[in-house]
Amino acid sequence: MRSVNERRGILVRSASRRVEVYDACTLKCVAHQRRCKATRTSSNNDDPPIGTTVSFAPRFDPFAVPALRPLTRKSRIAVAAPASAALDPSHAAAGLEALRKRGLTVETVRSLSLRPQGYLAGDDEARASEMNDLFARDDIDAIFCLRGGYGTLRILEKLDYDALKANPKLVVGYSDITALQLAIYAETGVPSLSGPMVAPDWPKIDETSEHQFWTMAKGKAPIEIIGPYAETLIGMKGGSAEGVLLGGNLTMICSLVGTPYLPDLTGAILFVEDVGEQPYQVDRHFARLKLAGVLEKLGGLVTGAFTHAKPPKGRPSLSLDEVLTHYAQFVRGPVARGLVYGHFADKCTLPIGVKASLEVNDAMSSLKVIDPITRDA
């Protein structure tokens, strides 16, 4: 295992190159603006568009997905808490019991009923060490996250991504875990599942949602993503796109902008959801993605649920639909809403880091996973 400093040294050198290129592009864009004002002539083809975001060069083929063992009810898994602890120790115990009832062999590295440190499930070193121990093991098929909450961002630079790349396995979770899953993909190309977590979901997961989870985890593809009750997407902007499916919690995605842990989203199909964010906050998040040049790079966009998002009564506000419609115009490819995905019980499981397609037309709107997330050896 390379030390954090050695690994960060590589990132710093990469970051330096990116900053140098970005600064050069910025200067060229400023010069380009000045030339346009002075001469009203078109820009040189070598000049990048104003507002271009320069990304790290991919360190892997985005479609060469590492081979992950299919996840079944006979698999060996580990439960970890890289973010917050369970709101009550009984919730953790119920989640572990629910998983074992499915036939899974379930392990833990540390006690999940330890007293939390504020909103964290232990200090940064303990949470990072737990993940690194599991990354290095070749005898487990997946890491199920106990809960989201807060704190994943604090450990990203402490993780041994090389160990996970050498021993690839699924990481299952959503919400705050989005930061971990996107960082893993950015660093290694290893895909993950944005799916049910141990404490809040597995004790009460409905049959249809669970079936869809296992279908995805076993590696079935191609598969169309539809809701547990056959809900389909609602088109907002027509078109068709094919690219890597990436996404998760909108707040966490925006938190990674400007860091080495946000994957290159050029041509990607991005899916998003959030909780407790009022329309003006969702607006702010999308504005940041627009200003960073992210929205215009996307192949397509799919929005899930924004729960607990109503503004206080009596306060002027845009609606969420108005906010989403406004930012849909900046995505060059298709845009759809109505994905049954978010902070509620009955929802879809979505892969992060595999090839997918999005098609939106007058007759239908469809998100399909093309490549399997796991494969038989």
Which one is catalytic: 84, 175, 192, 255? 175
97 catalytic? Reply is no
- Residues paired with residue 57 on neighbouring β-strands, in sequence order: none
273 catalytic? Reply is yes
Which one is catalytic: 130, 210, 273, 277? 273
Q: Cα(354)–Cα(370) distance, rounded to whole angstroms?
A: 8
Q: How many CA atoms lie within 13 A of 242 on its CB side?
A: 5
Q: Cα(29)–Cα(222) distance, rounded to whole angstroms?
A: 42
Which one is catalytic: 255, 343, 359, 366? 343
Q: Which two tokens stand for residue 222?
A: 């191609």
The residue type at 228: P
Q: Is the Cβ–Cβ distance between 341 and 271 less than 8 Å?
A: yes
Number of H helices, E strands in the chain: 9, 14
- Residues paired with residue 172 on neighbouring β-strands, in sequence order: 144, 193
For the chain, give percent helix, strand, coil, nearest 5.
35, 20, 45
Q: Which two tokens stand for residue 363?
A: 């007759």
| Residues belonging to the active site | 175, 273, 343
